[in-house]
């Protein structure tokens, strides 16, 4: 397993380099100009100067290599300096956002907590809801519980978050006025009152996303449980005289978790990607929203860096899912 992991990690290096190249070229070829929001009164020569100041005067390959150097050497050094108080990155050029002229990584670090809190929490809640629903639905297939569970999953699947999000805002913010319609990122939790406010502003975005996640995972869980409930070894377990609880939770559930765990692991990178639409609807200042604004502003370094981080996470969690598969299922051997 260790050899396999190391091998996979080594393979992922050229993969990621290639991905970064593709992203870079795509962004370079894409229409859009970081100068487009500069007033027309600014003369073209000045604009040209500004463009050069952003480093856009260099040819593509130089810019790409520059970015690689900044991402893989300078930024880790900055992080190291920040953690241990050293000064390796002293005076070196970091990846700078075209919009804010501040280092991209600093902005990412600022935005990350909001996204992780809102989207991550919704993912965790979604899983916690989905697993019991999937298990009970499968165990009591075609019961009223299963029918209602299926119905709710279909709603979660088919209603897009920009609709359910707005619907919740209309009902709970406008009509009932229970929750604020906009997520206040600057809010800090200092006492019970402010904590309660934080909870209130998180309820709506979290529940919109949790419904969406739960719908998917509960379907996977149900299907996987149904697959296993009819297996012969379940009958064996009953013939052994094991209690129903042991049969379902220890025999069936453990075997059913194999595909579900993989699905859950593969879904984790999307948390970091943020829920772009939901973050927009509730004005959560997260990574998803940052990506959208960066795309609008043709902020190539920001888009490049963010997209690449997502790519790294996806490759990483693919590997984690594969390793989990090997751990959970003794039939799978990687060596």
Chain residues that interact with other proteins, rule: CB under 8 A: 142, 231-233, 235-244, 246, 251, 254-255, 328-331
Comparing CA positions, the residue from 23, 19, 27, 17 lying closest to residue 72 is: 17
Q: Find the shortest distance in angstroms from Cβ 152 to other proteins.
A: 22
Cβ proximity to other proteins, 101 vs 245, nearer residue? 245
Q: Find the shortest distance in angstroms from Cβ 333 to other proteins.
A: 10
Comparing CA positions, the residue from 205, 13, 57, 22 lying closest to residue 118 is: 205
Cβ proximity to other proteins, 236 vs 293, nearer residue? 236
Residues whose CB is less than 8 angstroms from the CB of residue 266 and which lie 6 or more positions away in sequence, other chains included: 317, 318, 321
Q: How many whole angstroms separate alpha carbon 185 and alpha carbon 169?
A: 18
- If 0-12 CB within 10 Å is exposed, 13-18 middle and 19+ buried, where does residue 305 land? buried
Cβ proximity to other proteins, 176 vs 239, nearer residue? 239
Q: How many whole angstroms separate alpha carbon 40 and alpha carbon 3?
A: 59
Give, in order, the Cα–Cα distances in Å from 248 to each of 141, 224, 233, 236, 255: 14, 13, 11, 12, 10
Instruction: Pinpoint the alpha helices (H) of the chain.
Output: 2-29, 44-53, 60-69, 75-84, 104-115, 121-139, 144-158, 161-168, 192-229, 232-239, 244-245, 253-273, 276-281, 287-296, 300-328
Q: Find the shortest distance in angstroms from Cβ 251 to other proteins.
A: 6
Cβ proximity to other proteins, 252 vs 306, nearer residue? 252
Question: CA angle at residue 217 from 213 to 222, to 5 degrees?
Answer: 150
Cβ proximity to other proteins, 250 vs 293, nearer residue? 250
Q: Find the shortest distance in angstroms from Cβ 146 to other proteins.
A: 13
Q: Which two tokens stand for residue 61?
A: 């390959």
Cβ proximity to other proteins, 151 vs 296, nearer residue? 151
Q: Find the shortest distance in angstroms from Cβ 268 to other proteins.
A: 23
Cβ proximity to other proteins, 215 vs 248, nearer residue? 248
Q: Find the shortest distance in angstroms from Cβ 244 to other proteins.
A: 8
Q: Which residues pair with 103 in a beta bridge?
A: 96
Give the dihedral sign, CA 205/211/216/220: positive
Cβ proximity to other proteins, 36 vs 243, nearer residue? 243
Q: Find the shortest distance in angstroms from Cβ 142 to other proteins.
A: 8
Q: Find the shortest distance in angstroms from Cβ 240 to other proteins.
A: 4
């Amino acid at each position: 397993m260790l050899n396999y992991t190391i091998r996979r990690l080594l393979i992922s290096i050229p993969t990621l380099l290639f991905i970064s190249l593709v992203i870079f070229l795509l962004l370079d070829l894409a229409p859009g100009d970081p100068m487009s929001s500069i007033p027309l009164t600014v003369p073209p020569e000045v604009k040209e100067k500004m463009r050069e100041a952003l480093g856009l005067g260099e040819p593509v390959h130089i810019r790409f290599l520059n970015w690689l150097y900044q991402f893989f050497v300078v930024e880790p050094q900055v992080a190291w300096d920040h953690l241990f108080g050293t000064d390796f990155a002293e005076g070196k050029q970091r990846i700078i956002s075209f919009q804010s002229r501040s280092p991209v990584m600093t902005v990412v670090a600022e935005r990350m907590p909001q996204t992780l809190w809102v989207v991550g929490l919704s993912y965790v809640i979604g899983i916690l809801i989905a697993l019991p629903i999937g298990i009970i639905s499968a165990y009591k297939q075609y019961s009223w519980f299963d029918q209602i569970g299926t119905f709710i999953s279909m709603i979660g699947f088919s209603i897009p978050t920009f609709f359910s999000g707005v619907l919740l805002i209309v009902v709970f913010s406008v009509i009932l006025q229970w929750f604020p319609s906009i997520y206040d990122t600057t809010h800090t939790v200092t006492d019970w009152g402010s904590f309660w406010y934080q909870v209130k502003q998180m309820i709506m975005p979290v529940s919109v996303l949790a419904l969406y996640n739960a719908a998917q995972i509960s379907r996977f869980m149900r299907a996987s449980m149904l697959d296993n409930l009819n297996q012969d070894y379940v009958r064996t377990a009953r013939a052994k005289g094991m209690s129903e609880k042991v049969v379902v939770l220890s025999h069936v559930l453990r075997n059913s978790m194999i595909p579900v765990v993989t699905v859950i692991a593969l879904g984790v990178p999307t948390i970091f990607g943020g829920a772009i639409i939901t973050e927009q609807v509730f004005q959560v200042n997260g990574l998803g929203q940052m990506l959208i604004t960066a795309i609008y502003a043709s902020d190539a370094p920001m888009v490049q860096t963010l997209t690449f981080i997502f790519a790294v996470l996806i490759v990483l969690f693919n590997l984690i899912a594969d390793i989990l598969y090997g751990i959970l299922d003794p039939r799978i051997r990687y060596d």
